[in-house]
Amino acid sequence: MIKDFGYQRVAAARPITIPVDIKENTKNIILLMEQSSAKECDVCVFPELSISSYNCGELFRQQTLLDSVIDSLLEISKVSANLFGIYIIGFPYAENGQLFNCGAVISHGEILGIVPKSYIPNNNEYYEGRWFSSGLRSNIKNINLNNKMIPFGIDLLFCSINNKLEIFAIEICEDLWATIPPSSSSALGGASVIFNLSASTDLLGKTDYRKNLIKHQSAAVIGAYVYSSAGVGESTTDTVCGGHSIIAENGKVLIENERFTRDSNLIFSDIDLEYIHHERLNNTTFSQCISNQNDDKLFRKIYYKSDHHKNTKLNRFVDPHPFIPDSSDDLNKRSSEILNIQSSGLATRLSNSSFASAVIGLSGGLDSTLTLLVTIEAFKKLKLNYKGIHCITMPGFGTSERTKNNVEQLCLEMNIPLEEISIIDASLQHFKDIGHNKNTHDTTYENTQARERTQILMDKANQLNALVIGTGDLSELALGWCTYNGDHMSMYSVNSGVPKTLVKFLIKYYADTIAKDKIADILRDIINTPISPELLPMGKNGEMLQKTEDTIGPYQLHDFFLFNAIRCAYSPEKILFLAEIAFAKDYSTETILKWLEIFYKRFFSGQFKRSALPDGPKVGTLSLSPRGDWKMPSDAKASAWIDRLYKN
């Protein structure tokens, strides 16, 4: 069940509204309520004043209209008795000589509460101040509808009895445009989701502004924002409504509708309440803002019982590559930004340490290639001669002709010095020194080569008065896939914040936008070379026998696990659930489960390596630096996480 993993299904409904045609509007509202119920939406919000329509003008003061609206509201409430979920309906309501623009929360035949609009616009575009009063200045706490006392006010939070994460609040149109929107206080009061009933007119450029405002507010409250605005059926006397509906979560739009369509519309998505809860716990500023909340911002909580979902299918996109932007434009922009962060960090380290030279162990693989590109960009920033970049290739027992040739051609085309130092004789001597059989291709055999290479790089750096630039990436650090005091060590590690799946795209970006023709071709061949540490001998026919992903698993899976386990703090069973969706066409459940177990085992057992990391720049929202984002005991065990994978 999606509920088991902390999801709540929310909807934004946009019925066709006709000015003052209450009977037809009610019919259209009920039709969308039935559609929402069929989709098992937990909460569905309708536009502002949707029963009467937004554009009623002086007719808002007619008792005939107001009485008809209440009759309609009660009819809608009655219909809801047999429907799934909660419905938020916009309507005008008069009390104590004041008229309020309200949202009624309706569920299973009951009106749970009514929230009035706080901020009433009165300008060239909106004239609400002519008719409506602000809920901010109302001291009405309850109203009598159909002989039932119903909570009324801007201080209402709606809370599920059977799911503590399900808490929502309401604001209406202009409230979002306020300097401090009511939703900011509601979020600090505990609301994870904000529903906005709106009737926003469409003007040139306003759509993007509105969309960005909703994205920003969902990020500011660290929550979800569900927005529904009136459509083209509204009066066009002076303005036009396009009917914009948006569902956003923590700064990202999950779904939005097509505007200006001439039929009713319903959009829905599953929002991740568990992720919202984690992000709030993770954000100390949010907790400090709660502490600073004034006493007069205390809320009344209205409790309801959540409906039981039968639907097990998740209705939201699960990104199989969470570290990679989803469009070419965003990818190019993001790649440029990452290279700037990496190269700026390195440039500052070189400058502040008074180094004008760098040493790189260049293998012809992805990571060392990216390190070279970053170093070149750093030298550009400092206006240093490329002759200060000392690339060293160190062929060993498993070095392939393909990778060796790519190294030589790349340095030749870039006019960068390349020195070749074989590690074979030194490794054989070391095997002899420690009494290791050279034909035993075990961990000692492999790590001897890795440490020999690191020793060469460190000593050459001393010789050249240079800085050793590390090549290891974020994915390798997560899996402990590095030799302690071997490739694990450097003087500055530029790739430590970049996951393996992103490394390829950064090199591709460089090939497509910066590199010249021959260099670009070499970079593309490096991208297409199988990932290997090349520490074991080649096959009889010169084929590569040691492929990293055959040993530890596909990096696309491990990067998916890394993001969801560490960045989102999801449970193992939730990660498995999401991975089954994201990789349905690529991997079986058994395969995913196998590599997920290995991920947890390697992640926990490799912490001691991360505890001794060299400096390196954080480039995204996830870092495993012990000095920054990730502080974890090296002796922690993975048993509790692995047990949960198999508990069912």
Structure tokens at 218: 């969902």
For the stretch 581-612, pLDDT in tens is: 999 999 999 999 999 999 999 999 999 999 99
Complete DSSP assignment for 580-596: HHHTTTT--HHHHHHHH
For the question of residue 58 being annotated catalytic, the response is no
Note the pLDDT of residue 593: 96
How far apart are the C-alpha atoms of 457 and 466, rounded to whole Å?
Answer: 10
For the stretch 171-184, pLDDT in tens is: 999 999 999 999 99
How far apart are the C-alpha atoms of 545 and 116, rounded to whole Å?
Answer: 69
Task: Decide: helix, strand or coil at residue 170.
Answer: strand
For the stretch 461-490, pLDDT in tens is: 999 999 999 999 999 999 999 999 999 999
CATH of the domain at 603: 3.40.50.620
List the domain range (segments joined by +) for residue 436.
328-645
For the question of residue 117 being annotated catalytic, the response is yes
Note the pLDDT of residue 72: 97
Note the pLDDT of residue 127: 82
Mean pLDDT, range 500-509, rounded to an integer: 94
Q: CA–CA distance from 396 to each of 393, 399, 402, 450, 478 (Å)? A: 10, 6, 14, 10, 26
Note the pLDDT of residue 293: 75
For the stretch 15-29, pLDDT in tens is: 999 999 999 999 999
Among 287, 303, 319, identify where a domain stops. Answer: 303
- Measuring CA to CA, which residue among 363, 490, 483, 491 is closest to residue 421? 363
**C-beta neighbour count of 55 within 10 angstroms:** 23
Candidate list 41, 44, 48, 234, residue with the active-site label:
48
Strand order in the sheet with 492-493: 418-420, 389-393, 358-361, 467-470, 492-493
Residue 577 and residue 452 share a domain: yes
**C-beta neighbour count of 31 within 10 angstroms:** 15
Better-predicted residue by pLDDT, 620 or 542? 620
Residue 285 and residue 383 share a domain: no
Within-domain flag for 313? no
Note the pLDDT of residue 311: 73
Beta bridge partners of 11: 44, 268
Percent of the chain at pLDDT above 90?
A: 82
Mean pLDDT, range 516-539, rounded to an integer: 85
Better-predicted residue by pLDDT, 142 or 287? 142
Candidate list 117, 500, 574, 609, residue with the active-site label:
117
How far apart are the C-alpha atoms of 556 and 562, rounded to whole Å?
Answer: 10
Among 252, 270, 303, identify where a domain stops. Answer: 303
Within-domain flag for 499? yes
For the stretch 544-564, pLDDT in tens is: 666 778 889 999 999 999 999
How far apart are the C-alpha atoms of 92 and 78, rounded to whole Å?
Answer: 19
Residue 20 and residue 159 share a domain: yes
Within-domain flag for 312? no
How far apart are the C-alpha atoms of 488 and 80, rounded to whole Å?
Answer: 62
Within-domain flag for 426? yes
Residue 554 and residue 444 share a domain: yes
Percent of the chain at pLDDT above 70?
A: 97
Beta bridge partners of 99: 94
Whether the model clears a pTM of 0.75, i.e. scores above it, the answer is: yes
Within-domain flag for 318? no
Asked whether 217 and 181 are in contact (CB, 8 A), the reply is yes
Q: How confident is the model at residue 243 (pLDDT cuts 50, 70, 90)?
A: confident
Residue 398 and residue 350 share a domain: yes
Q: How confident is the model at residue 63 (pLDDT cuts 50, 70, 90)?
A: very high
Strand bridging mode 252-256 / 245-249 = antiparallel
CATH of the domain at 229: 3.60.110.10
Residue 349 and residue 274 share a domain: no
Residue 294 and residue 336 share a domain: no
Q: How confident is the model at residue 188 (pLDDT cuts 50, 70, 90)?
A: very high
For the stretch 212-239, pLDDT in tens is: 999 999 999 999 999 999 988 787 777 7
Within-domain flag for 308? no
For the question of residue 573 being annotated catalytic, the response is no
Number of domains, the chain: 2
For the stretch 131-140, pLDDT in tens is: 999 999 899 9
Better-predicted residue by pLDDT, 172 or 297? 172
- Greatest Cα pair distance, the chain, in angstroms, is 101
For the stretch 258-289, pLDDT in tens is: 888 888 999 999 999 999 999 999 999 998 99
Q: How confident is the model at residue 296 (pLDDT cuts 50, 70, 90)?
A: low
Task: Tell me, rounded to whole angstroms, the distance of Cα 379 from its chain centroid.
Answer: 33
**R_g (Cα) of the chain, nearest Å:** 30
Helix or strand holding residue 187 (H, E): helix 182-188
Among 303, 319, 353, identify where a domain stops. Answer: 303
Q: How confident is the model at residue 646 (pLDDT cuts 50, 70, 90)?
A: confident
Residue 509 and residue 635 share a domain: yes
Within-domain flag for 609? yes
Mean pLDDT, range 433-458, rounded to an integer: 95
Residue 118 and residue 153 share a domain: yes
Q: How confident is the model at residue 543 (pLDDT cuts 50, 70, 90)?
A: low
Task: Decide: helix, strand or coil at residue 251.
Answer: coil
Q: Which amino acid is at 381?
A: K
Residue 346 and residue 222 share a domain: no
Q: The dihedral of CA 359, 362, 366, 370: what is its sign?
A: positive
Q: CA–CA distance from 23 to each of 94, 232, 233 (Å)? A: 20, 18, 14
pLDDT at 152 over 90: yes
Within-domain flag for 476? yes
Residue 622 and residue 494 share a domain: yes
Looking up tokens 């009066």, which residue turns up? 235
Q: How confident is the model at residue 294 (pLDDT cuts 50, 70, 90)?
A: low
Complete DSSP assignment for 42-108: SEEE--TTTTT-S--GGGGG-HHHHHHHHHHHHHHHHHHTTSSSEEEEEEEEEETTEEEEEEEEEET
Residue 281 and residue 339 share a domain: no
